[in-house]
Amino acid sequence: MLRAEKAYRKELGHVRVQDLLDEVQADDDGAIADRSCLFFEEHMR
C-alpha cells in the first residue's frame, strides 16, 4: 500500500488544477454551467 501511495503522490505532483479545468472546459458544452445555475436558483433564499 505504501508503494502505491507513493506512486499516486508522484503522479499527482504532475497534475495541476488548471490542467483539470482546461480539460473540463474543452469537453463542456455548457451543461455544467446550466446545472449550476439551476441549483442556485432552486436553493437561494
Q: What is the per-residue pLDDT for 6? A: 94
Q: What is the per-residue pLDDT for 28? A: 84
DSSP conformational letter for 30: S
Helices (H), the chain: 2-12, 17-27, 31-43
Q: What is the per-residue pLDDT for 26? A: 87
Alpha-carbon torsion, ordered 16, 20, 26, 29, to 10 deg: -150
Q: What is the per-residue pLDDT for 4? A: 94
Q: What is the per-residue pLDDT for 9? A: 93
Q: What is the per-residue pLDDT for 45? A: 74
pLDDT tens profile 1-45: 899 999 999 998 998 989 988 988 888 888 888 888 888 888 887
